[in-house]
Amino acid sequence: MSWKDKLDTTRAGLKNLNGAIPDTARAFGGLGKAVKDGGTLDLKTKEFVALGIAVADRCEPCITLHIATLIKVGATREEIADVLGMCIQMGGGPSMMYAAKALECFDELTQA
* Contact yes or no for 63/105 (Cβ under 8 A): yes
Per-residue pLDDT of the chain (112 residues; tens, 9 = 90+): 899 999 999 999 999 999 999 999 999 999 999 999 989 999 999 999 999 999 999 999 999 999 999 999 999 999 999 999 999 999 999 999 999 999 999 999 999 6
Domain boundaries, the chain: 3-109
pLDDT of the residue at 95:
95
Pick the CATH number of 3-109 from 3.60.20.10, 3.40.50.1970, 1.20.1290.10, 3.10.620.30: 1.20.1290.10
- Residue 102 contacts residue 48 (beta carbons within 8 Å): no
Amino acid 40: pLDDT: 96
The CA dihedral of 32, 34, 40, 46, to the nearest 10 degrees, is: 0
pLDDT at 14: 97
Looking at residue 38, what is its pLDDT?
Answer: 87
